[in-house]
Structures are given as structure tokens and as C-alpha cells.
Structure 1
Amino acid sequence: MRKSIATVSVSGTLTEKLEAVAAAGFDGVEIFENDLLACPLPPEEIRARAAGLGLGIDLYQPFRDFESVTPDVLARNLRRAEHKFRVMRRLGADLLLVCSNVSPGVVGDDELAAEQLRLLADRAAEHGIRIAYEALAWGRHVNEYLHAWRVVRMADHPNLGTCLDSFHILSRGSDPIGIEAIPGEKIFFLQLADAPLLAMDVLQWSRHHRCFPGQGNFDVAGLVRHALNAGYTGPLSLEVFNDHFRQAVTGRTARDGMRSLLALEGELERAAHPSVPTGFAFAELSGPGPLRGVLAALGFARTGTHPTKPVELWSQGGARLLLNEGPPGTDPALVAIGLDSPHPGGAVKHAESLLSPVLPRERAPEDAPLDAVAAPDGTEIFFCDDGWLADFGGPGAPVAGEVTRIDHVALTQPPHYFDEAELFYRSVLGLSPQESLDLPDPYGLLRSKAMSAPDGSVRMVVNVAQVGAGHHPWQHVALACEDVVAVARRLRARQPGLLLPIPGNYYDDLEARHEIDPELRELGVLYDRDGDGEFLHLYTVTVGRVFFEFVQRIGGYQGYGAGNAPIRLAVQHVSPARGA
């Protein structure tokens, strides 16, 4: 289907927006009026620039507070409309978005609204222009999409149809099944936006917290499916008001918007996702100097060295970690994740189809053919079968120890990439998101969202640190084990300074809420439980940017001990990092 985006959805000047939108592969744009008014170029030149970039101007918007008004106001509104029509002809746009009236003095009279919209459509027709009437979720009288359709139907004019907006429909909890009662030819335009579920005024929700489909909690695909069933054949157009998007790099946001529409198309086609991973092949860390001793203390053993690259393989149980030299003078960091994939080639092609190109890599002829794409924070994501182990002499004999596998990895994103990261892991890897959490940090907040494969074999946690005492891009690798208490005993006996010290006040409160083994306090083991099971975990101190976590899941526990995260954050701020 034709893909479009409103210029308000990305940052920059109008010309910068057009260039970024075209580069992302869109077919058209909605010109938001403020972008045109602030542009020094005349409408004719904007039209020429868009055409030169291969973009159509699919919609001009918005025209506000027109219908259900007194005769004197109507006269003024028609004068405004005539000016808009002349501007649109210069732009080469033939569809105008008219929002339902929000003025305090508007009359609640559908017949009057229909009569005045019919008059507007008559005037528009003289200029070869059509009118798309949209119900704003906060409209004074018309705030439901089926109400807007009733008014359009009453007006009965060929140049008047309706515009459906997923945010305005879904934010009110309206059932989109009613879309199928609207003739497809009378749905003149379809605007798409997702949003997180927030308990707030709908106008503020709309103006600041919309996001691209797949980044929020709305069933945007279901709504689009209803529109297609009704016979809609126009563009799928993104209209997103978001404070972070307005500050982000224009081209990056435009590409993310296109990725959301491509993923949406795949969902509409109900295509099987070709790249849902089945486990962690490895986590790759740079800066081996300070990490070698830490891994040895944690029970890992070096089991191989790459023949052509300065990379070592460290193993324990089913967990494998790679250590590479990394750039000189940089702190240890988590730089890549290898995912077990049943079809690595198909996974790579799927990632490329969603605008995640394969990263260039130096590869010797004898090296395993591994391909990687970049996650939004720059972490390399590899799609693997067992062939990669041949670079290190094969799987070798298993290294016995408490660790059984990698349970999850947590990556701290740059501030404006949280929504992009969710869409990446959701669409490119097929992971399902859990609820977004805001966790208190002594100097701000940590925004966190966990994402996982259906069977829990791969878990990723995406974080954004919003702190006032400097940015702490901490990353961590969580290692699953059968007995966290045994791990803690061993490490406390042999490496007492390696584990993060947990305050006694935490255990005083914990013991008031749960009956726990007193040894947890002595060992620094944290505890959580839910209706499905229990969770034991402990942390190491930070090494550069990285720390490790040991986790033990008991019963059906699927969480991450989020209630303990504020304790961990507070202690990390005051505990010196190794190798920093």
C-alpha cells in the first residue's frame, strides 16, 4: 500500500523533513500547516521539491473549528477556507483535513454541521479539492468516528468524506469494528499512531505521547484491517505528535516510521516471523583486561581463541561469552549479542526488509559466515547457527559450573531511542514487550521495558537512564543458575569484593513482608515473588560499563525483580567500578 507520513512527525525544517521522508522510502507526505507557514519557500517550490524527491502531497492539514457555527462565524470560516484552497492548489494538494470543532460556542446540531460541511465541500469542489472530516477525541460535540460519519452521510456530497485516525478512535476505547459499516470510497484518509496506555487528559496524551505503530499498546493493525475490509484503498499515513521525535535526528525518525509501516504490513498479511530467536548463542564484551579475572572468578573458563581476530571464547554450562580487545583506552562494554536462529539467512533478509542493513565486517575466508545488524544503541545483533563455534575449535567439552545459560541481557539506550528500540526488537526479532516501568534512581528515573520470545528462551531488557548526576549507560548480562545461594557462598568466600553490597535496611523490610532464609542477608542475595513463583538474584560490581547478575527462577516466575532495581541503582551510584 501507499505509505505517507505527516511532516509534524519528524524534526527539522520543512525541506529537511521532505528529504528525510523521501530517503526513508515514503511515497507521500501530509503537509502540516505550521511547517509551511514557517518555510521561506513559496508553495510552488515546495511542490517542486516534493515532486523531485518522488513524494506526493497527500493531505494538507489541519483546518480547525469550521462547522456548527453562527452565520457570521461561518462567513469568516469560508473566507479562511478559500485562502486554504488557493494555497493547496499552489502546493498541488487536493485533500484538506477538517477537524471537528472544539470551540466552546459551537452548536450541538448535526443537521447544521452537515449543512455547513456540504457548503464547504461545494466551495472545495470548485478548486478540485476534497474534504476529509475527522472526529477529534476531544471535539466539543463530534468526538467519535461514527458520529463524524453520520454527519458526512447527512451532508451527502461527493467531495466530502471522513478521515479515520487510530489515536482518536482507540484512545476513547471505541470499537473499530464499526469502520466496516463505512463505504470504503467515503474513507478519504487513514492516519495511524500508536500510544502507551496512560491515565491522563486525552489532549495532552495526543500532543505529547503518540508513537509509531508497534511502539505502544493500541491494536493499530486490527483497526487497519477493519478499514481494508471496508474497501479503503488510500495511503497508510503516520501522524505522530511526540516530544522525543521532535528532538531526534530527522532521518532516523523517518526510517523508524517506515519500519513501523513495513512491520504493520507483515502483521496484516499474518506472515510468520522468520527470525524469532531460540536462545542466546553468545554475548560479546570488549576490553578483556579487567574482565578476564572477573569471568574466572565467576566460574568461566577460556575454551577457545579466534584464529584471525583478537577474540576469546569463555564458557560455563550453556553460557558463552566472547571477549575482544576493543578500542584502546575504552571501558569494558557489551558490544554484541549472538542469537540462536533456526534460519539465519531468513532472519537477515527479514531485518534488511525492515531497514536494518547488514553491517560490514572483515572476514577471513575460513571464518564462519556470520551476519549482524545494528540495534538502535549500536549493539551488534548476530543471527547464528552452531557453525560459529568452529572459529573457536568447535563446542569442546562443557565447562561445569553453577551457570546453565544466559537468562537475559539489559541494554541502556540513548535518551531518544527507547521507542525505536522497542520497535526494533519487536519487529526485527519478533520479541513481545511487557509493560513499561519507571524505576526510581537516586538522581532521576530508569525507564525500563522487558521483551521476550514466546517461550522465554531469549529475554532482552531495554532501559533509558534519565538521571541528573550524569548519564550512566550501564549494561548487564544475567546468568541463569540452579542455586544462587551456592553461587553467593562461593563468591563471598573467594571474591568478597566482587559482589554488590546490599544495605541491611533492604533486608529489614524484606523480612517484614516475606519469610526468608536469614542467609540471604549475609550473602547479599535479593528476593522477589509473584503469583507464579519466586526469584533469587545477586549482582556483581560494575566493571567499566558492565556488570553481571546471577538469577534463579523458581516455579513459573517470569519477571526480573523490578522491585529490587532501585536498591541496585542506589548502591551502584556509590560503589566504585572496576576498570573504569
Structure 2
Amino acid sequence: MSLDYSSLLSIPISYASCSLGNPSDPPPLLDRLHAISLAGFTGIELSFPDILSFGSQHLGHDIDPKNYSELCTVAAEIKKQCQNKKLSIMMLQPFSNFEGWPEGSAGRTDAFERAHGWMAIMQACGADMLQVGSSDTPLEKLDRKKIVPDLRELADMLNEHGFRLAYENWCWSTHAPDWLDVWNIVKEVDKPNVGLCLDTFQTAGGEWADPTTESGLREDVGSDELEKRFKKSLEDLGNTIPKDKIYLLQISDAYKVPEPLNTQADESELLPRGRWSHDFRPLPYNGGYLPIVDVTKAVLMTGFRGWFSYEVFDGGPNGKGKDTDIIAYAQTARNIQERLLAESAGKNLNV
């Protein structure tokens, strides 16, 4: 079955505010917003770290991440700046390590305090969607029976304000690294304001690629079986997820790392795919090796025509950072959107 190319042309496009420029030394937020708007994007994902960094400039002092009164003041100013640039704030992100903490634990108390604070920020900045990444907290610290009830409770809290929850499989998650894992959880949560944040990197980078191997691919099965298994997974995605349960598709590729990453978590407990994600995610068609078009096509086969959002962390092929003309980079991303849609529909625009 082929895609109708004309049906893809109205897809809205967003850029994650945190992901334009050198990941280790991003330029000022207002410069990034200018570049994103100039390139023709109509929305942004607003990242919490950007609220903190812009807030320190706007208020003249560092902000405590739990000082939600000041954070809301800053978020309101960012909303104003976005309106001036004709950008909507499509989503607040990344809300992490929320679900599954044992009853009475400090982690659970912190998770729900953060949830209330982030909802206040959403009200201030005008976002109506919260991205929740599948937790990478070590499993021995979690009560897995709490995952679904926690997400149901968060959904109800969000629904009081007309907000939605976009649940994303982070490919280094300890309990839900694949799209099918989070889809099964979303089905069990069974709330009308809970859907999926799908991601080309998270899908291909978890099920097909592996930064800890010499080949850059998963080596737990043979190459033929890997391709067969991944193709079947994408077919299942395209055939089983209702289009209205996909809230957005995030777009990025991945560089093959210069040397395989250590398989163990680092000193901050971040697993190898998490470290890979932080610095080795370029735009499609710019030196990466993931089957991005295949993932995109699978998502579009569901009938989804909602937000495509570019979230890249491009530290260069060595992951150590590179100088970036952010205006040119944002325009390249805009051009890539046209090529990605065309190739997903079987066309070649030679962009």
C-alpha cells in the first residue's frame, strides 16, 4: 500500500527548542527561536532546561528548578516571544522518571510535585501537551505495578486543564524501550488524553541499531533475522496504532559512534543508548545511518498527519560538538521535511 503524497503536505512542523546548535553549548534561546521561525516552522517543543537558562538571563539570577513561581514568570515571557515570532508552543518536555516509584518513596513524592509544577508552567506558556519519557530508573528501584496507575493519575490531573500526555519510548528505558511497550501501556492506561510520542531515533535506535557493537547494529540475532524482525515491527506499527493515538512524530537520525560504547551505565546511571542520544543525533540525510524513511512511512501508514517535530542533538560524528550556523541548520531541517515526506511516499525530489 502506498501513501498519497498530497495528503502529507499539510503536516505541521515543529522544532525542539533544546536541539538547535551545539548540544554542549547551545546559543541563546531567542536566537534559536528566530532561526526556527525564519525557516518556516510553526511550532516548538519547549524544553525545561531552556526555561532555566533563559530565565537566568531574563531575571538576572539562576532559578531553582523547583521555584515554579519564577519558572511560570519566565514561561509566560517565552510565550510572548514565541507569539511575536508566530510560533506556537506545541509541547513541554522532557518529563522523565515519573512512573513506577513505590508508594511512600521519596521518588514518588518528587514525581508528583514535579507534575503539579510542570502543569503550572504549561498554563503559563500555553502548551497543552506534556511529553513523558518511559522511565530509565533502574528496575530494582521501581514497583512496576504502579506504572499504569501512575500514568492514569497523571492523565486525570492533566485532563482537569484540558491537557494531553504524550508517552514516548526512550530506547534506553528500563521498562518500556520499544514502541510496542509504550503502546501496550497506553492501551492499558485507557484515557482519552493519553497517546504516543513516536520518534525515528528511539524506534530504529532501539530495535535495529546498537551503539555498543562494532557494526552499529544489534547483534543478538543474525543480520537477516534483524531486518526481518524490524520490518515486521514497522508493519505492525503501521497496521495497529490508531492515528488519533499518535500525538507527534519526532525526527532525527544517528551517527555510528567512532568506538563502541561501554555496555554499562555511566556514573550518572545513564545507559549507553542514552549517552548515544545526547550527542550523536543529526538531521536525516546528514551522515547518519538509521532507516529513518522506513520508520516515518510506518507512522504515516496509520493515517497520522499530525506534528512532525525535529529533535536533533548533533555533536558531529565524534560527538564532541561542532560550530553550527543555526539559521542555515534550521533551514536545512525545513528542506529535509520535504524530502522525507516525498521519499516516504515513494517520490524523489532530489532535495
The two structures have a TM-score, normalised by structure 2, of 0.74
1:150 alignment counterpart: 184
Mapped contact 1:10–1:246 kept (Cα < 8 A) = no
- Residue number among 16, 25, 39 corresponding to 2:54 in the alignment: 39
**Structure 2 counterpart of 1:192, which letter?**
I
- Residue number among 4, 12, 16 corresponding to 1:6 in the alignment: 16
Shift of 1:246: 6.4
1:126-170, Cα deviation, whole Å (9 max, x unpaired): 122111111111111111110111111101011111111111110
2:113 alignment counterpart: 79
1:480-559 equivalences under 5 Å are none
**Structure 2 counterpart of 1:223, which letter?**
V
The answer as to 2:250 corresponding to 1:235 is: no
1:329-348 equivalences under 5 Å are none
Distance across 2 between alignment mates of 1:107 and 1:15: 39
- Residue number among 249, 254, 274 corresponding to 1:190 in the alignment: 249
**Structure 1 counterpart of 2:152, which letter?**
R
Shift of 1:214: 1.8
Name the SS of the counterpart of 2:285 in structure 1. coil
Provide closer, same or farther for how the CA distance between residues 108 and 140 of structure 1 changes in structure 2, counting only shifts above 3 A: farther
Q: Which runs of 5+ in 1 are unaligned?
A: 274-426, 429-580
Distance across 2 between alignment mates of 1:60 and 1:115: 22
- Residue number among 45, 49, 58 corresponding to 1:30 in the alignment: 45
- Residue number among 154, 164, 172 corresponding to 1:130 in the alignment: 164
The answer as to 2:240 corresponding to 1:205 is: no
1:511-565, Cα deviation, whole Å (9 max, x unpaired): xxxxxxxxxxxxxxxxxxxxxxxxxxxxxxxxxxxxxxxxxxxxxxxxxxxxxxx
Distance across 2 between alignment mates of 1:25 and 1:130: 25
Shift of 1:272: 4.2
More strand by share: 1
1:62-88, Cα deviation, whole Å (9 max, x unpaired): 011000111233233111101000101
Shift of 1:232: 1.4
Distance across 1 between alignment mates of 2:162 and 2:31: 29
The answer as to 2:48 corresponding to 1:48 is: no
Distance across 2 between alignment mates of 1:35 and 1:272: 36
How many aligned positions are there?
274
1:177 alignment counterpart: 235
The answer as to 2:98 corresponding to 1:66 is: yes
Mapped contact 2:247–2:307 kept (Cα < 8 A) = no
Which has more radius of gyration?
1
Distance across 2 between alignment mates of 1:131 and 1:152: 10
1:13-71, Cα deviation, whole Å (9 max, x unpaired): 11111111000111111111111111134211211221221111111100110001112
Distance across 2 between alignment mates of 1:44 and 1:165: 28
Mapped contact 2:102–2:143 kept (Cα < 8 A) = no
Shift of 1:118: 0.4
Q: Which runs of 5+ in 2 are unaligned?
A: 1-10, 22-26, 59-73, 209-229, 262-271
The two structures have a TM-score, normalised by structure 1, of 0.46
2:345 alignment counterpart: 269
Distance across 2 between alignment mates of 1:265 and 1:150: 28
- Residue number among 285, 310, 329 corresponding to 1:253 in the alignment: 329
2:267 alignment counterpart: none
1:114 alignment counterpart: 148
Give percent identity, aligned residues only: 30
Name the SS of the counterpart of 2:170 in structure 1. coil
1:306-334, Cα deviation, whole Å (9 max, x unpaired): xxxxxxxxxxxxxxxxxxxxxxxxxxxxx
1:149-197, Cα deviation, whole Å (9 max, x unpaired): 1111101011111111111110121532232211111111211111133
Computed over aligned residues only, the root mean square deviation of the Cα atoms, in angstroms, reads 1.7
Provide closer, same or farther for how the CA distance between residues 24 and 60 of structure 1 changes in structure 2, counting only shifts above 3 A: same
Distance across 1 between alignment mates of 2:273 and 2:168: 16
Name the SS of the counterpart of 1:30 in structure 2. strand
Name the SS of the counterpart of 2:166 in structure 1. strand
**Structure 1 counterpart of 2:307, which letter?**
P
